[in-house]
Amino acid sequence: MPDPTLCRLFVGTSGYSYGEWIDAGFYPEGTHSSNMLDMYTQTFGATELNYTWYQMPKAPAIERMCKKVPASFRFAAKLTRTLTHEIHQTAWQKEVLLYRQGIAPVLESGRLLCILIQLPPYFDRTIPHRNYLAALLDELGGLPLAVEFRHRSWVNDKVFFELERRNITLVSVDEPNLPDLFPALDIITNPKLFYIRFHGKNAKGWQSGNMQQQFNYCYSPRELELWANRIEQSMVPNAAAGCIFFNNHVRGQAPKNALNLIQILGKKGLFTPPKHS
């Protein structure tokens, strides 16, 4: 059995503020959104900040968030969509500076696992996209980074080598098996951290364009067991830490599956619940 102290695992969900999680029973009836983070930290030791993709983070709000969580709690934060999905060719370096300033409190508090660069499915491996990504990684230098590709064209040893050279984490994505989507890999490019995102396998929903349908999926115990085996055999031995987030938020399936996986990893001796302090 591997020594769990050699690789610290953080398991949680992508975002935590969902009204539908009240109906699903994860949050008590009548829970206000302002209290959801506090309740979330009673169950999980990390979260992926979703809202930083929709809007530029502001340092005062991030600082307040850091003060609300236990010392052991950790955040991953999505890079804002204006740097990944709605790129302004003349202003993106300024956007990077604003993002750095906004996210600074979580970095300075020691609670930042990494910045997630989530690229869209249409961001394929063309020369302009390669050049932009290289420049973006340069501008974000000094921050812990993880890159999530959605297009299959990025499956290339040269890409993996470059990420490894830069000590940037390649995100392992579990998503529908569709022709152009990036496959689920367990390649470690950064010995400090591996990163897994579970989007669900709803192929019909993924193609619908409806976000509620896209992430409407509940993982079976067998699917999670198979992933736990991959984590145990291919990932834990090769990284100092790992973060695992479930993005199948519809109907409270994400926290349910995260708890399922924690239980499986715990039985393998790979996961120890964080001590709240």
pLDDT tens digits along 4-51? 557 899 999 999 999 999 999 999 999 999 999 999 999 999 999 999
Q: Is residue 277 part of a domain?
A: no
Report how far residue 84's alpha carbon sits from residue 102's, in angstroms, rounded to the nearest whole number. 17
Domain count, the chain: 1
Coil, strand or helix at 198: strand
Yes or no: say if 215 and 205 are a contact pair by the CB < 8 Å rule.
yes
Q: Is residue 186 part of a domain?
A: yes
Q: What's the CATH number where 24 sits?
A: 3.20.20.410
pLDDT digits (tens, 9 = 90+) for 134-165: 999 999 999 999 999 999 999 999 999 999 99
pLDDT digits (tens, 9 = 90+) for 68-123: 999 999 999 999 999 999 987 778 999 999 999 999 999 999 999 999 999 999 99
Q: Is residue 273 part of a domain?
A: no
**Average pLDDT of every residue of the chain:** 93
Tokens 């001796």 belong to residue: 269
Q: Is residue 135 part of a domain?
A: yes
pTM over 0.75: yes
pLDDT of residue 121: 93
Q: Is residue 272 part of a domain?
A: no
pLDDT of residue 1: 44
Closest by Cα among 84, 94, 32, 20 to 53: 84
Q: Is residue 275 part of a domain?
A: no
Give the max Cα distance, the chain.
53
Residue 208 has pLDDT above 80, yes or no: no
Domain, as residue range, for 27: 4-267
pLDDT of residue 62: 96
pLDDT digits (tens, 9 = 90+) for 119-135: 999 999 999 999 999 99
Residue 268 has pLDDT above 60, yes or no: yes
Q: Is residue 112 part of a domain?
A: yes
